[in-house]
Copies of this chain bind each other. A is one copy, B any other.
């Protein structure tokens, strides 16, 4: 059956909520980073699980690929229609279905963004902590196993998704997990789905773990004479057991980009941005103990504040880091790297990366979630100079290989998509083939986001 028949069937199902307009197709073929545009043949906008199920059945019958789409903030080309097909955009499935304060959990549709959820939660005293820089959809965050600045304390999507409703490739609708805080009842299908990037099914509902809004928060920033001093300070803080809620690194180039973008007056030096959650006493104590460690490593005075507006300004700046860096080279596209290494290897990894960037001559500001050993070099390339893109990709490949050699991973939080496919074999060995076997078992027609994550796909 040709795709034309599938599109007719989808129109019968969804009416106006099937789009074939060029602008819509192009918007869903685009990427936040350097990948070329690869639009789908149609975009559909379901409102219910039943509609998603019927979309899947129509596409499966016609052998048409299906690609899930959240907020479109992926950096590894997850949403691109490499083999054409139908993009399933979840923007209308954006309801918070049930908040259960006594159980500290919530059930949402996949199109709810993390900011929209926290807006709804504000009055409950609870919040959802996982915060990639972008205002991503929670469905997309689950599918890429996203994390962010607070992961050092609250974990990633791996730790905060309790259960899912998933439409499988054959149209079956399954529920994974329970609302109990733990379970030993069989394979952890929730964990299998989190990070599966739409290659095993389309998520139509998520139950998420919530956390109490901290009674008190203190946050601050400090500069270091060099990168090694900053990473040594991170390691010592972690080993002292000081409970960090956030610890973010920004290199001198990044500080310069912040200054230009946000009008700040940061020294052009490596910085740490730090936050503590707890009681008024504990957060003050934590900040003071941290300040002592900073001083021991020749850092600048640790300026900290418990005032909400100062903290908000600090983290808004951090969350705009990617855009600030992009703006530092007008017209540039970004090759974003995302390596994560054991903490003991962090200084070594950052140092080798900086030397590599310096040798390349490309702008490559670094920022990252150093409490987890995860950092990003954002390599800025002129899209009209293919040699620059090649150079950046080579550099990113060396970073990934180095991370794997150091016992780490080519992607701490952005996922595989197709940008990180070339490193999967060396990171996982035969385990990558096992991922392929799981994929084939659940999607024998290879229609769920083909060309991503698994081998020969």
Verify if A344 is at the interface (C-beta below 8 Å from B). Answer: yes
Verify if A250 is at the interface (C-beta below 8 Å from B). Answer: no
The answer to whether residues A186 and B428 also contact, given A178-B408, A343-B102, A373-B181 and a CB cut-off of 8 A, is yes
The answer to whether residues A413 and B373 also contact, given A188-B192, A192-B192 and a CB cut-off of 8 A, is no
Verify if A117 is at the interface (C-beta below 8 Å from B). Answer: no
Query: How far in angstroms is the closest Cβ of chain B from A31?
Result: 17
Verify if A19 is at the interface (C-beta below 8 Å from B). Answer: no
Contact of A430 among B174, B241, B416, B430 (CB under 8 A): B174
Residue ID in chain B nearest A441 by CB atoms:
B441
Whether A180 contacts B408 by the Cβ 8 Å rule is yes
Contacting B at CB under 8 A, from A336-390, are 338, 340-344, 372-374
Whether B372 contacts A103 by the Cβ 8 Å rule is no
Whether B102 contacts A239 by the Cβ 8 Å rule is yes
Contact of A441 among B238, B430, B440 (CB under 8 A): B440
Residue ID in chain B nearest A207 by CB atoms:
B407
Contacts of A412 in B (CB 8 A): 180, 182-184
Task: State how many copies of this chain the complex holds.
Answer: 2
Contacts of A114 in B (CB 8 A): none
Q: How far is the CA of A180 from the CA of B174 in the complex (A)?
A: 31
Stretch at the interface among A34-42, A144-152, A267-275: A144-152
The answer to whether residues A103 and B343 also contact, given A168-B434, A182-B412, A189-B431 and a CB cut-off of 8 A, is yes
Residue ID in chain B nearest A163 by CB atoms:
B407
Residue ID in chain B nearest A213 by CB atoms:
B241
Contacting B at CB under 8 A, from A65-115, are 100-105
Contacting B at CB under 8 A, from A398-457, are 403-404, 407-416, 420, 423-424, 427-432, 434-435, 437-438, 440-442, 453-454
Contacting B at CB under 8 A, from A143-189, are 144-147, 151, 156, 158-159, 168, 172-176, 178-189
Whether A186 contacts B373 by the Cβ 8 Å rule is no
Whether B195 contacts A182 by the Cβ 8 Å rule is no
Q: How far is the CA of A413 from the CA of B181 in the complex (A)?
A: 11
Contacts of A176 in B (CB 8 A): 428, 431
Residue ID in chain B nearest A239 by CB atoms:
B102
Verify if A282 is at the interface (C-beta below 8 Å from B). Answer: yes
Verify if A218 is at the interface (C-beta below 8 Å from B). Answer: no
Whether A184 contacts B414 by the Cβ 8 Å rule is yes
User: Interface size bucket, A side?
Assistant: 35 or more
Whether A411 contacts B184 by the Cβ 8 Å rule is yes
Query: How far in angstroms is the closest Cβ of chain B from A152?
Result: 8
Verify if A194 is at the interface (C-beta below 8 Å from B). Answer: yes
Whether A182 contacts B413 by the Cβ 8 Å rule is yes
Query: How far in angstroms is the closest Cβ of chain B from A141?
Result: 10
Verify if A331 is at the interface (C-beta below 8 Å from B). Answer: no
Contact of A178 among B180, B195, B409, B435 (CB under 8 A): B409
Residue ID in chain B nearest A102 by CB atoms:
B344
The answer to whether residues A407 and B178 also contact, given A184-B146, A282-B282 and a CB cut-off of 8 A, is yes
Verify if A196 is at the interface (C-beta below 8 Å from B). Answer: yes
Contact of A373 among B173, B180, B410 (CB under 8 A): B180
19 contacts between A and B (CB under 8 A): A147-B184, A158-B191, A175-B429, A175-B431, A178-B409, A180-B340, A180-B403, A181-B342, A181-B343, A182-B340, A182-B372, A185-B410, A186-B416, A186-B428, A186-B454, A187-B453, A188-B194, A189-B434, A212-B241
A→B interface (CB under 8 Å): 100-105, 144-147, 151, 156, 158-159, 168, 172-176, 178-189, 191-192, 194-196, 212, 215, 235, 238-239, 241, 281-282, 338, 340-344, 372-374, 403-404, 407-416, 420, 423-424, 427-432, 434-435, 437-438, 440-442, 453-454
Q: Given contacts A100-B342, A101-B239, A181-B374, could you give 6 more A-B pairs where the C-beta distance is less than 8 Å?
A: A158-B191, A172-B430, A176-B428, A178-B404, A189-B434, A438-B442
